[in-house]
Structure 1
Amino acid sequence: MDEHDLLQYLSKLLQDRGCYLALIDDIWDIKAWNQMKIAFPNQKNCSRIIITTRNKKVAEMADDKCFIHQLRFLTEHESWELFCKRAEPTTPDMEELGKAMVSQCRGLPLAIVVLSGLLLHNMNYNYWSEVKEHIWRHLKDGESFQIEEIVSLSFNDLSPKMKDYFLYLARYPEDDVIDPVELKLLWIAEEFITEAGEGEGVIMENIVENCFNELINRNLLQVNDLGWNGQIKSCRVHDLVRDLAIKKAKEHKLLVVLESGKHHPELIHLLEGQPRHVIYNEIGEYLKLVERRFDALRVRSLAVSVSLVGNLKDPSELRHLPDSITDLSLIGSELTEDPMPTLGSLSNLTALQLTDVYQAYKGNKMVCSENGFPSLQILRLEGFMNAAESALGNASGALEDVKEALTLAPNYPAFCDLEAASSVFNSTLLN
């Protein structure tokens, strides 16, 4: 189903349903709205469409009968209250510095919370004074401090190790709800932390937990949902923070993001020197473009997120993946054949994620080839609706070995530690 077919399908669906309310988030330009508005029939039956945008011109040009509600900025008092919830000054001098910096945020909540997260890290007058002077050096008369500059201040204040943790957030799609357990395991799988680097006896899970909490405290990660025990169940990255992470990750040669709809005239040059590739749709085009250069590119990890447009259905398309890959994520790929025989040949693969957004795999059985996945440590199979309890592998004795080797992360049974598993791995699809 391509984009046109999807719009036609939605239009017919809404016509059949009668009155509807549609919310479309974050429209960047009027062309995008003009392309998709054909999906929303006007049957004069009190249906309504709500659009959010950061571009006022989009709102003004969307429809000549639309009502524009422009969100107001925080007042000076509201801004200071928000700041003090995170970094309340301890002395009158620090309060004076804080109010001067908050005033330059011009009532923008994100700028205020990121600034407070930066100052909370070091609650002393000299540090706050240095931050204020840095802000003033980058301002002209009458200007406000830009969000990117405030986020950059927080980024530059991170240790080299913490910068890697932050930049890795660029791998997640815009507005994605992030599973903290998944994120921490991926940090470990990517070897941002190793036992050799940290010393013998160090528990790596404790270290990544501390790093996760630091990003939360600095407001570079936002809490999305809390459990009954106060533990963070999910989190998000603000769009503007994510934009900076994508930009800096590319500059630091940590990760590069390729999104459909964006022109990449020199794709190979863009990918050179980048150990991690993140693909949103157009995976088939990506594989065709780079298949002859994969080994030379030395890709370490590949994350693929596929929507209804640009599905990856044939696992043989993955045969050109290089042996250097250690981390692979396929989300919503709609594979029609068992991908395990193909993926099992990746000798260095330590982390594999298959997530069923629109069905990552349409079959009901997965069987790994003999000696497949020799290095696999982390496996996530999530939300496979077609999976059957009886659809287990048929290799003699394999199932018992795998069950004995499974180490389930709390509340996340799809995560498995397969370090002790036998060389022949056959498993059910875990829901």
Structure 2
Amino acid sequence: MAESIVSGVAERLGNLLMQESNLLSGVSDQVELLQTELKLMQSFLKDADARQDESELLRLWVAEVRDLAYDAEDIIATYALKVAYRKGCTCILYEGNTVHKVGSQIVDIKAKISVLITTFRDYGIRESIIQAGGSPSSWNEREQGQRQAFSHLERHSVVGFDDDVNILVEFLLKEGEGDTRVASICGMGGLGKTTLAKMVYNHHEVKQHYDCFAWVYISQQCERRLVWEEILFSLQSLSKEQRDGIRQLTDAELADKLVQVQKEQKCLVVLDNIWNVEDWNNLHGGFPGDDSYSKILLTSRNKQVPLHIDPGSLLYELQFLNDEKSWELFEKIAWREDSKAKTRMKDLGKQMIGYCGGLPLLITILGGLLATKQTQEKWEDVLRHVKSYLYVKQNLKINMILALSYNDLPCHLKPCFLYLAHFPEDFEIPTKELIRMWMGEGFLSQIHHGGGREDSMEDVGDRYLRELVQRSIVQVEKRGSFGMIKTFRIHDIMREFCVSKAKKENFIHITNILSMKQCEVQIGKVRRLAIIPESGDNSIKGIKFKEYPYLRSLLHLLHRHDVPYFKEFCFKKFKLVRVLHLENFEKHSKKLITDIGCLIHLRYLSLKDSNINKVPSSIGNLRCLETLDLRILHYSRVPNVFQYMKQLKHLYLPYDYNVHGKLELGNFCYLQTLVNIQPNTIQIPTSLQLNRLWVLKVRTNTQAQDTIQDTISLISRCPHVEKLNIFNSIKKKLPEAYQFSQNLAKLTLFKTRLEEDHMATLEKLPNLKILSLLYEAFEGKNMVFSERGFPLLQSLFLSELFQLEEWRVEEGAMPNLCHLEIVCCPRLKTIPDGLRFVTTLQKLEIKSMQKSFRDKLDKGGPDFDKVKHVSSLAFQNCGRE
């Protein structure tokens, strides 16, 4: 890990020397020498880093190297930023003193590095490592030509579960009176309980049998209110206003509402990972008794939970895989389909999986590790390490195999993996936010291609995450519209290892965590702090931020009702912070403290859903900011200071805001994301094209003609936008087809209240793949999709179009449509006859429509012929008796 940190610091210093040498005036030669020293130190760390557990001296040595690298970057980056802020200052004496001070600090760090190198040599550390079994540096070698995608990794989970699925599906389809309504899947972590539950949940017969579905993950600190709300929101298609209304209900009212829905509809609810009996006792008030056809499927490590719920319920205990199934699972992961090495390496593979004890998680992780190594020599190297753990206890065996997977990570992936320790157990980690945090920390290296082309940092981050998925270290939870990873999770066993490793490496300090054993006293300075809800108490109120002056990341990840007020939260206490994630943050005064402007290193700032109603103008000092998320809860005043943030790439404005004058956007050279912008509040130079912008979300706050023209003007200035959302009324006017970006692939209209059918315009967009018309987007009675219209459209969503009565689809329209969803369009009489010609349609979902609408589409109904070619036809909340 220290190798990764030193390597990253050396690279960033090199970039600073090349790109901003004018900011290092007076110390550039010393910085260059320091960078050389750090590169030299890397060669020592290749041997020492992975072996620090074997010696306390070595551990202390590595920790000292790690802190020196951080200190060097802090000193030099701070100096460069201060020079940038002081441009134009003529105080020569001040400049001279600053240069002398920084120069002295650099000389001091170089001297300490020299001492550490001498210590490394004099104590014979390198020799002892070599004698212990060879250099471990091979563990970090990149596989040349490593695959970018292992498509079979997502298919491995079906191994060994066919009989299990059949038994559980049969139970869920049974409707006899007096039958139990609870089925349970039990077993230790890593056996595949969640995987089996997902296979049953998504089974085609189950989808046809039930009206409504909900899946919730239960953390060790079970939050009853949040679980009930999540189930209810999943079972019903609700507008934002309806959801807000439910959040105002008392617990008793919410429970009654949830029970009522499960009695009126046939619902399947999955409670994944219930830890103990107390959790069920806390939740059971939200579920009906035996007078319901709704059922519950739960997973648990604790067999007492289902026995407590109902001793007569179906209890399915997962077993370890036998040798045959273990090998089948291993084969699907460890080899390329065209591998020629299978025969000669088969014996090696069978020896290694024998040490996994039939535990699917371990087999999957080991297979992911070996999938990056396609030579016999590398497999033999892994086998040598696995064999040494043969006789350790099972829990240690698990940790050792996880450690093998971690040690094999390339240098650049180790800090990215350890960063996941910030997030609470069972947390659904959002990909965008995480990658932008990695960016802020400097974990992502720019990748250059031929012809001067280079990947964006987001592309690099996505590639890093896919590497972690390919190695089976994290699991994809949701994919976005275009197949990209939207959210993911880390298995609780892997998370425990991640947290333990991160704390041992002094990579992170976790506050308010009582669920796992505390590691030994940390060595060195605290650089990252995570505030997470794992103990359920309010000890967070006692955090003394003055104890963390070296922080680089502060992540505040509490649920809203757990959040205490911070009366003494002072940003100037940690001026080195680069990532500040204050989601759900509450300040007693509701004002963001003005001294946030002191955080000149800040790259990432999120105040999403925070209880703040005023943003200070001092945020204009944050010249390094790349991501700014101001989607706060209250109507807010926004300062006109964004023109100073020239590095800004992702800007999320409040849902509703005002501004004095006009927001100047003239310096947004790198802007890629612009969300919640009100076109009538901005000022853009006439000549400016936002050429890098690819996500735009527009919110109009008035129906005035000028506002509509401003909206059209803004859209036309974004020639490369791929995703466009327009919120609120624009009534009679959409941009013409030529005014939209020709790259536009996803368009969402919400509450736009279009009075005329604009499909003739939209269907001409050449690359449109996803169209969502949501909540009064269209107020007309008739809508027509013309022949050859929407040539590339793959997904279409029609929701809460309350006036729509007739929808006509001509033959030849939407020739590539795969997914159609119709939600709560009460006046729509039937689906278009033209859908029978859309032979590509694979999935049709009908939600919150009348029973008569559903009956027409059921087998034997008058409209069944229109959809009989659709492989998946699902109904939800359609009034089935």
TM-score surpassing 0.5?
Answer: yes
Identity %: 26
Secondary structure of 2:657 counterpart: coil
Which residue is 2:625 aligned to?
A: 376
Which residue is 1:83 aligned to?
A: 330
C-alpha distance 405-209 of structure 1, shift in aligned 2 (>3 A): closer
Deviations 1:382-420 (A, max 9, x none): 5858677762332x5543346666332876559xxxxxx
Aligned partner letter, 2:413: M
Deviations 1:258-290 (A, max 9, x none): 3455499999x6696331011114797435332
The 2-side partners of 1:276 and 1:379 are apart by 20
C-alpha distance 382-120 of structure 1, shift in aligned 2 (>3 A): farther
Which residue is 2:301 aligned to?
A: 54
User: Does 1:277 pair with 2:529?
Assistant: yes
* TM-score under structure 2 length normalisation: 0.40
Q: CA deviation at 1:118?
A: 0.4
Aligned partner letter, 2:554: L
C-alpha distance 54-249 of structure 1, shift in aligned 2 (>3 A): same
Deviations 1:160-200 (A, max 9, x none): 332112111222232333333332222121122467xxxx9
Which residue is 1:165 aligned to?
A: 416
Which residue is 2:434 aligned to?
A: 183
Secondary structure of 1:361 counterpart: coil
Secondary structure of 1:369 counterpart: helix
User: Does 1:18 pair with 2:259?
Assistant: yes
Structure 1 stretch 152-161 or stretch 59-68: which is displaced more?
59-68
Following superposition of structure 1 onto structure 2, how do residues 30-429 of structure 1 map, counting pairs within 5 Å? 30-34=277-281, 36-37=282-283, 39-40=285-286, 45-46=291-292, 50-61=297-308, 64=311, 66-88=313-335, 90-140=341-391, 146-193=397-444, 205=457, 207-227=460-480, 229-259=482-512, 262=515, 273-281=525-533, 285-286=539-540, 288-295=542-549, 298-313=550-565, 317-319=569-571, 321-333=573-585, 337-339=590-592, 341=594, 343-355=596-608, 359-361=609-611, 363=613, 366-369=615-618, 371-382=620-631, 391-394=657-660, 398-401=663-666, 406-408=671-673
C-alpha distance 334-286 of structure 1, shift in aligned 2 (>3 A): closer
Secondary structure of 1:110 counterpart: helix
Q: CA deviation at 1:125?
A: 1.2
Secondary structure of 1:122 counterpart: coil
Aligned partner letter, 1:288: G
C-alpha distance 399-93 of structure 1, shift in aligned 2 (>3 A): same
The 2-side partners of 1:349 and 1:149 are apart by 37
The 2-side partners of 1:5 and 1:155 are apart by 37
The 2-side partners of 1:181 and 1:16 are apart by 34
Secondary structure of 2:580 counterpart: strand
Structure 1 stretch 79-88 or stretch 329-338: which is displaced more?
329-338
Aligned partner letter, 1:174: E
The 2-side partners of 1:411 and 1:85 are apart by 37
The 2-side partners of 1:69 and 1:11 are apart by 32
Asked whether the equivalents of residues 314 and 337 of structure 1 are also in contact (C-alpha less than 8 Å), the reply is: no
C-alpha distance 201-312 of structure 1, shift in aligned 2 (>3 A): farther
Gaps of 5+ in 1: 415-429
Aligned partner letter, 1:130: D
C-alpha distance 45-411 of structure 1, shift in aligned 2 (>3 A): farther
Aligned partner letter, 1:79: S
Q: CA deviation at 1:366?
A: 3.8
Q: CA deviation at 1:305?
A: 0.7
Structure 1 stretch 115-124 or stretch 142-151: which is displaced more?
142-151
* TM-score under structure 1 length normalisation: 0.76
C-alpha distance 278-113 of structure 1, shift in aligned 2 (>3 A): same
Aligned partner letter, 1:92: T
Aligned partner letter, 1:132: L
Structure 1 stretch 109-118 or stretch 306-315: which is displaced more?
306-315
Q: CA deviation at 1:71?
A: 2.7
The 2-side partners of 1:150 and 1:313 are apart by 42
**Higher relative contact order by CA 8 Å / sep ≥ 6: 1 or 2?**
1
Which residue is 2:704 aligned to?
A: none
The 1-side partners of 2:442 and 2:304 are apart by 45
C-alpha distance 77-228 of structure 1, shift in aligned 2 (>3 A): farther
C-alpha distance 354-33 of structure 1, shift in aligned 2 (>3 A): same
Asked whether the equivalents of residues 274 and 300 of structure 2 are also in contact (C-alpha less than 8 Å), the reply is: yes
Asked whether the equivalents of residues 508 and 529 of structure 2 are also in contact (C-alpha less than 8 Å), the reply is: yes
Q: CA deviation at 1:117?
A: 0.9
Asked whether the equivalents of residues 367 and 392 of structure 1 are also in contact (C-alpha less than 8 Å), the reply is: no
C-alpha distance 403-157 of structure 1, shift in aligned 2 (>3 A): closer
Secondary structure of 1:68 counterpart: strand
The 1-side partners of 2:225 and 2:258 are apart by 18
Which residue is 1:421 aligned to?
A: none
C-alpha distance 292-340 of structure 1, shift in aligned 2 (>3 A): closer
The 2-side partners of 1:263 and 1:147 are apart by 16
The 2-side partners of 1:4 and 1:222 are apart by 26
Aligned residues: 402
The 2-side partners of 1:303 and 1:18 are apart by 36
Q: CA deviation at 1:367?
A: 4.8
**Coordinate RMSD, CA, aligned:** 4.2
Deviations 1:291-314 (A, max 9, x none): 34233xx22210011114321455
Q: CA deviation at 1:149?
A: 2.4
Aligned partner letter, 2:477: N
Structure 1 stretch 52-61 or stretch 156-165: which is displaced more?
52-61
Secondary structure of 2:316 counterpart: coil
Secondary structure of 2:628 counterpart: strand
Asked whether the equivalents of residues 362 and 386 of structure 1 are also in contact (C-alpha less than 8 Å), the reply is: no
C-alpha distance 291-87 of structure 1, shift in aligned 2 (>3 A): closer
Asked whether the equivalents of residues 318 and 342 of structure 1 are also in contact (C-alpha less than 8 Å), the reply is: yes
Asked whether the equivalents of residues 82 and 112 of structure 1 are also in contact (C-alpha less than 8 Å), the reply is: yes
The 2-side partners of 1:301 and 1:141 are apart by 37
C-alpha distance 18-179 of structure 1, shift in aligned 2 (>3 A): closer
Secondary structure of 1:24 counterpart: strand
Which residue is 1:427 aligned to?
A: none
Which has the higher Rg, Structure 1 or Structure 2? 2
Asked whether the equivalents of residues 104 and 144 of structure 1 are also in contact (C-alpha less than 8 Å), the reply is: no
Aligned partner letter, 1:25: D
Deviations 1:42-72 (A, max 9, x none): 7554475554222334444555555422234
Q: CA deviation at 1:350?
A: 1.9
